[in-house]
Structure 1
Amino acid sequence: MINERRRRFGAYLARLRRDARKSQRQLAESLCRISGTASVTRHEISRWERGERIPDVWLPALSVALSIPLRTLERAAAHARGEDIGAGAPSPAEALAYFLPDHDVELGPLASTAGRRVGASTAAALADRAHGLRLADDVIASGDLLAPALRELDGAVQLYRETTHSEETGRSLLSSIGEIAQIAGWIASDAGEHNQAAHAYRLGVSAAREAGDLSLVGNLAGSLAYQLSNTCHEDDGLSLARAALDEAGPDAPTKARALYLDRVAWAQTKAGNPQPAMRALAEAHEAMADEDSQEAPDWAYWVSPEELDVMDARVYTELRRPLRAVPLLQEVLSRYDSTHTRELALYLSWLAVALVDANEPEEGAKTARHMLDLAADFPSDRTARRGRVVLAKLEPYRDVPEVREVLDTYAA
């Protein structure tokens, strides 16, 4: 059985590979080229990412191939082997240590350094920490990650306020504050702390506007709109989702614009407007297909045609169109990254509902069981809410044995 430390280390490697824009096969080829051997295959990379093996002897080559400091990889591998605190389960702080790199910038109390001048290296360090939080969110439960994320946000704001810097460095620091605020808001929302999330999003919008980063403003405003749409504030969510799209403007990077349009589609769906929702979905795919002269921002790394397909299927499910939703979700999930436990559980919840709507309660129950097992391993407010929706959907089919077994097992 793969223990939790090794699973997290595998998820970490998978994220590093995707950030480097390499397939498993391409990474294997890079390692063979760097090492001068032909002994690494795509299947071996897959074993590492599933947590079945730790690539100890390959860490130096991985460091070169993925542009990651060797010390960072060695620390993460040692933690995965249990060398630091023995065989016990890792604390969130230990898991987070994988993702927040060591730098000369200290995101804590800065009284002793108040007034010192910082430059490009500090701005780059803060951007690295924002990226580290993004990586951590994939593998650490929101309840465990929320407090560290809020500390990072407070420290970033303090760093900006209590140091001096050039205008260019100041803009970079403000953009990183906006990114950390978006991640912290997302984590807070996933933990069910909606007021904290809204505060973080609004702080981030202020920082991103001051930095002149309109794409980031759109991401922050759209994230808050998404929360509003999902917490019984559908009209406010729709208004803000539209405003996020408008503020980012038509020249936003294509991935970002596709994301904003997807959020408009969801807001329209939750507001009970099916035709505008369908139009926004179509526009999101058109935006994604457009050629883009701009490089996508780092925070948009996860936006892809597959993610747009998932939103399509979610909208179809919400609109009670299971014949469209089921095959689309099944196709996407057949190749979805299994290391993203929370997202996989959420997407399975939509498939379970769509299957029941398609009058396939047995398959719906099977999918629900998989979803609920994953949700138990990676708790969040969003997965808990979706679990309740799935169980309520199954309840009218209690006389079906497969359904009754799921309801009796998980209803509590």
Structure 2
Amino acid sequence: MSGNMGANIRRERMQRGWSQARLAREICRVAEVQCEPVGRQEVSRWETGKRTPREWLPFIAAALGVPVDVLTTPQAPAEPALPTLADYLPTDDPLAPLGARTGRRIGMEQVGDLQRRVHGLRLADDVLAGGDLIRPALRELRSAVKLYREASHSEEVGRELLRQIGELGQIAGWIASDAGQHSEAEQIYRLGLSAAKQAEDHTLAGNLAGSLAYQLSNTGGEVEGIKLARAALDGAGTDAPAKARALYLDRVAWAHTKAGQVQPAIRALGEASEAMSQDSPGNESPPYLYWVDSGELQVMESRVYTELRRPLRAVPLLRDVLSRYDATHTRELALYLSWLAVALCDANEPEEAVAVAERVISLSADVASERTAARVRIMLARLEEFHDVPGVSALFGDAR
């Protein structure tokens, strides 16, 4: 019964667009108590069936505005169950050992070497584009998979090696996607997801699944992108680090945005911000999330509002982000400026949009990124609506 009750509580909460922290506050309000007895983690335990609400049940029902029996009566699913991350694993097992392991014995030293190379590749992606990095990334991935399948190692070493293959799969998949090799990227993401699941690293699996969901959302697979982004968030679990949950919620927001679903997108943005507010020095996140901070959440928020054609919200956010953005990150700078140019078009400010677009074209001229090239095409298509404005025709000549 507790499992059904937990599912009912979660369903009612999600229908209202509330976070677990919001529900905890509402329960404390109707119970007229301080919020210490009930917090987000307690709500999470109820929803996952780890704990039964018992004396809190009437207050939960009152907070949600439903009778108690709505929470205690098993409900037939209204629609097919959402997919889980297991649905996205490769059909075969690309990480299966090649028979008996007869290769050299490896230990944590070799895993540490791989970890440093993976992080080096991640840092390189901050300043270089996918077209520049795709070959070394694929070489590293093939080498790491071969090492795992052929070398002899302990169970602990094998698990850590799988974790590094998962991290390498995420960054290599991202690089392949940036280079426009979307089919290759999807295979890499799925391989990394398999490694993360075998290593039982749910946070890493969520990062890989969310990365693939982001690609699907951007390449015509909006419905599948929403499903996978949600599966990534659910698979990571409520115990995932705050930064991870914030990132996965941002990807949910983007997936809904690309599908044209305004309210779910804005709701997910709010939940991402709330998750990020729970980050603290004692709440340790994996090193690969070093780049996730409040500024990155602001970037996603501004992009969502641009896509939803709400320039009055998008333009100030983008200008604020760009005023302090690292100029060495050329690709990202060009991408974010392209969204500003589009938002300025929506705000009927074509003269400013042309000035920003000129900078985008200049920055992206030598960047081997299909994402950047696609954004330039979108930006120019929007500016074409203002072909009578002085400067626009000159811009198109430069772009050609």
Instruction: With the length of structure 1 as denominator, give the TM-score of the two structures.
Output: 0.71
Mark the runs of 5 or more structure 1 residues left unpaired by the alignment: 1-112
* Bigger relative CO (Cα 8 Å, ≥ 6 apart): 2
Which shifted more, 376-385 or 225-234?
A: 376-385
Q: Is the 8 A contact 2:132 2:368 kept in 1?
A: no
For the pair 1:299 / 2:288, whether they are aligned, the reply is yes
Mark the runs of 5 or more structure 2 residues left unpaired by the alignment: 1-100
1:326 and 1:291 map into 2 onto residues whose CA distance is 27
Q: Is the 8 A contact 2:128 2:331 kept in 1?
A: no
Q: Is the 8 A contact 2:257 2:304 kept in 1?
A: yes
Q: Is the 8 A contact 1:225 1:240 kept in 2?
A: yes
- AA aligned to 1:255 is K
Residue 377 of structure 1, CA deviation: 2.2
The one of 159, 162, 165 equivalent to 1:171 is 159
Aligned partner of residue 309 in structure 2, secondary structure: coil
Residue 408 of structure 1, CA deviation: 2.0
Listed as ranges, the matches of 1:33-44 within 5 Å are: none
1:114 and 1:379 map into 2 onto residues whose CA distance is 41
- AA aligned to 1:198 is E
Listed as ranges, the matches of 1:196-215 within 5 Å are: 196-215=184-203
Residue 305 (structure 2) aligns with: 316
Residue 108 (structure 2) aligns with: 120
What is the CA deviation profile of residues 53-111 of structure 1, one whole-angstrom value per residue up to 9, with x for unaligned ones? xxxxxxxxxxxxxxxxxxxxxxxxxxxxxxxxxxxxxxxxxxxxxxxxxxxxxxxxxxx
What is the CA deviation profile of residues 27-50 of structure 1, one whole-angstrom value per residue up to 9, with x for unaligned ones? xxxxxxxxxxxxxxxxxxxxxxxx
Residue 132 (structure 2) aligns with: 144
Listed as ranges, the matches of 1:21-40 within 5 Å are: none
Q: Which runs of 4+ in 1 moved over 3 A?
A: 291-294
Residue 276 (structure 1) aligns with: 264
- AA aligned to 2:193 is V
Listed as ranges, the matches of 1:100-119 within 5 Å are: 115-119=103-107
Larger radius of gyration: 2
What is the CA deviation profile of residues 141-167 of structure 1, one whole-angstrom value per residue up to 9, with x for unaligned ones? 311211110110000011111111122
For the pair 1:259 / 2:247, whether they are aligned, the reply is yes
- AA aligned to 2:160 is S
Instruction: With the length of structure 2 as denominator, give the TM-score of the two structures.
Output: 0.73
For the pair 1:342 / 2:324, whether they are aligned, the reply is no
1:349 and 1:150 map into 2 onto residues whose CA distance is 29
Residue 346 (structure 2) aligns with: 357
Q: Is the 8 A contact 1:398 1:407 kept in 2?
A: no
Residue 114 of structure 1, CA deviation: 5.3
- AA aligned to 1:147 is R
What is the CA deviation profile of residues 311-340 of structure 1, one whole-angstrom value per residue up to 9, with x for unaligned ones? 000000011100000000001100000000
- AA aligned to 1:288 is M
The one of 360, 367, 392 equivalent to 1:403 is 392
1:291 and 1:260 map into 2 onto residues whose CA distance is 14
What percent of counterpart residues are identical?
A: 65
Residue 367 (structure 1) aligns with: 356
Residue 275 (structure 2) aligns with: 287
Which shifted more, 240-249 or 114-123?
A: 114-123
Residue 92 (structure 1) aligns with: none
2:262 and 2:160 map into 1 onto residues whose CA distance is 40
For the pair 1:376 / 2:394, whether they are aligned, the reply is no
Residue 242 (structure 1) aligns with: 230
RMSD: 1.4
What is the CA deviation profile of residues 243-278 of structure 1, one whole-angstrom value per residue up to 9, with x for unaligned ones? 000000111111111000000000000111100000
2:224 and 2:216 map into 1 onto residues whose CA distance is 7
The one of 186, 209, 216 equivalent to 1:221 is 209
